[in-house]
Amino acid sequence: MTMKPCRVAIEGVSLDLGAAHILRKVDLVLEQGKLTALLGPSGAGKTTLLKVLAGLERPGSGRVRAEDLSWSDASSGLFVEAQARGVGLVFQSYALWPHLSAFENAAFPLRVRRVPESELQERVAAAFDLVRLPLAAQGREPAALSGGEQQRVALARALVYEPALLLLDEPLANLDAPNREALRADIRRLQKRTGVTALYVTHDQNEALAMADSLAVMDGGRIVETGEPRALYERARSALVARFLGARNELRGVRRDGAVVLDCAVALEASIPDGLLDGEAVVALLRPDELELAAPGSGRQGWECMVTSVEFAGDRVRVGLEGEVRLVVDVPARSAPAVGERVVAVARPGYARIYPA
Ligand SMILES: Nc1ncnc2c1ncn2[C@@H]1O[C@H](COP(=O)(O)OP(=O)(O)OP(=O)(O)O)[C@@H](O)[C@H]1O
Ligand SMILES: [Mg+2]
C-alpha cells in the first residue's frame, strides 16, 4: 500500500466561532510524506485546525491548498467538501460503528465508494496488515476489542482508501502506557512505509518529539513556532515554546556589557540572542535536567537552596528547591538529597536559553 504523497499548505487561515477568534492567521505547511506534530495547550485551536483541513470547518479567511489544488479559499468562496478531499481521520475516541465488525468498520469507506468485493477484501487485509490487527480480532465488534485494537481499526479505516493526508487527533490519549508506546511506534512505521503526509495533534511533548519530522507549536489560535523537533527542544526562538517544552526554571536578570547578569549574582554561561539591548531585562530558562546539585562549600558557583520536596520518578528524582530563587532539578535516584538538606544548584554550562523578559 503506497499513498500518493501530497504537500498541504495552510495560508493565512482565520476562523471565528461566535465572537471568539479560534484561529488567527494560521500559516503552516505540511511537507509531502512527512509527519508534522501539532503541539499546544488545551484550547489552543489544534482540533479546529484539523477540522479546517478535513473540510469540517469553513475558515472565514485564508486558503488551504493540496499541491496545486485549492481545498478552500475564503476570498473566492471555494470550498471542497470533506468527502471529496481524500483525508483520513483518526480521533482520540475511536468513533467506530458499534454494530459492525472490525472488518466492516475498516471496509466502510470502500463500501461507500462501491469498490468491487474482491478488491475490497484485498485492501482491507492490506490495511489490517499495516496496522497489525490480528486476524482473530477482525471479525469482532468494537465492544469485544481492547482500546488499542479499536484504535488500530480506526487507523485501518483511515488508511484503507489511501488518503492524500492523514489527520490524527490525540489518537493515543485514551490508551494505557504500554499500548500507547506500541501504537506510537506502529503509527510512525506505517506513516513512513506508506509515505502518507500526516498531521499529528497532541499535547504530549514526548510523543511529539519522538514521532515528528517537523513540529509546530500552537497557542491562542496562532502557530507560535515551527521547526525540527530537536532544534525547537534545544533552542526555541520564543520563551513560550521553551516553557512549553519543559524549561520550567526561570531566572531573571539583565543584559549588561554584552553578558547576562542575573539578579541573584550568579554568572551564567549562555549565548545571548541578537537584538537584545544593553540594560534590557532578560529571563534565562532551564530544564530540570540542565542543573545539578553540589554540596555547600564545594566551591562551585550556583544558588544556595534548601530542599523542599523530593519526588520519586523511577530512574530519577525531581527535587524542589527554595532559596534566593525557586528551582526544580532532576537528579539520578541514587544521589537524591533529603528534604531540609542544604545544597547548591549549579547550571550546567551552555544550556540556558535567554529571552527578553
Ligand atoms: N462551537 C464552538 N463555539 C465557540 N467556541 C468553540 C467552539 N468549538 C470550540 N471552541 C473553542 O475554540 C477553542 C479551540 O478549541 P480546540 O478544540 O480547537 O482546542 P484544542 O487545541 O484541540 O484543545 P484540546 O487540547 O483540549 O483538545 C477553545 O477555546 C474552544 O472552547
Ligand atoms: Mg483538541
Residue to mutate (ligand 1; options 14, 26, 46, 89; most atoms within 8 A of CB): 46
Give the per-residue pLDDT at 3: 63
Give the per-residue pLDDT at 319: 97
For ligand 1, atom 13, name the residue with the nearest CA: 43
Q: Is the pLDDT reported for residue 2 higher than 70?
A: no
Ligand in closest contact with the CA of 21: 1
For ligand 1, atom 24, name the residue with the nearest CA: 42
- Ligand 1 centre from 17 Cα, in Å? 9
For ligand 1, atom 18, name the residue with the nearest CA: 45
Q: Which domains does the chain have, with CATH numbers?
A: 8-239 (3.40.50.300), 247-356 (2.40.50.100)
Nearest atom, ligand 1, residue 41 CA: 25
Q: Is the pLDDT reported for residue 50 higher than 80?
A: yes
Burial tier of 52 (Cβ tally within 10 Å: 0-12, 13-18, 19+): buried
Write the secondary structure of the chain as one string of H (helix), E (strand) and C (coil): CCCCCCCEEEEEEEEEECCEEEEEEEEEEECCCCEEEEECCCCCCHHHHHHHHHCCCCCCEEEEEECCEEEEECCCCEECCHHHCCEEEECCCCCCCCCCCHHHHHHHHHHHCCCCHHHHHHHHHHHHHHHCCCHHHCCCCHHHCCHHHHHHHHHHHHHCCCCCEEEEECCCCCCCHHHHHHHHHHHHHHHHHHCCEEEEEECCHHHHHHHCCEEEEEECCEEEEEECHHHHHHCCCCHHHHHHCCCCEEEEEEEECCEEEECCCCECCCCCCCCCCCCCEEEEEECHHHEEEECCCCCCCCEEEEEEEEEECCCEEEEEEEECCEEEEEEEHHHCCCCCCEEEEEECCCCCEEEEC
Region 307-322: mean pLDDT is 93
For ligand 1, atom 8, name the residue with the nearest CA: 17
Q: What grid cell was written down for 255? A: 543584559
Nearest atom, ligand 1, residue 203 CA: 25
- Ligand 1 centre from 45 Cα, in Å? 6
Give the predicted TM-score (pTM) of the model.
Answer: 0.90
Ligand in closest contact with the CA of 56: 1
Q: Please state whether beta strands 61-66 and 8-17 pair in parallel, antiparallel, or not at all (unpaired).
A: antiparallel
Q: pLDDT grade, residue 80 (50/70/90)? A: very high
Residue to mutate (ligand 1; options 15, 21, 22; most atoms within 8 A of CB): 22
Region 201-210: mean pLDDT is 90
Give the per-residue pLDDT at 263: 75
For ligand 1, atom 12, name the residue with the nearest CA: 22
Give the per-residue pLDDT at 257: 80
- Ligand 1 centre from 243 Cα, in Å? 22
Length in residues, the chain:
357
For ligand 1, atom 25, name the residue with the nearest CA: 42
Q: Is the pLDDT reported for residue 98 higher than 70?
A: yes
Give the per-residue pLDDT at 96: 94
Give the per-residue pLDDT at 1: 62
For ligand 1, atom 29, name the residue with the nearest CA: 43
- Ligand 2 centre from 285 Cα, in Å? 28
Q: What grid cell was written down for 356? A: 527578553
Region 109-132: mean pLDDT is 94
Question: Which residues have CB under 6 Å of ligand 1?
Answer: 17-18, 20, 22, 40, 42-48, 203
Residue to mutate (ligand 1; options 13, 15, 26, 47; most atoms within 8 A of CB): 47
Q: Give per-residue pLDDT as tens, 126-175.
A: 999 999 999 999 999 999 999 999 999 999 999 998 898 999 999 998 88
- Ligand 1 centre from 233 Cα, in Å? 26
Region 288-292: mean pLDDT is 94
Percent of the chain with pLDDT over 90: 72
Amino acid making up residue 247? A
Average pLDDT of the chain, as a whole number: 92
Of residues 297 and 23, the one with the higher pLDDT is 23
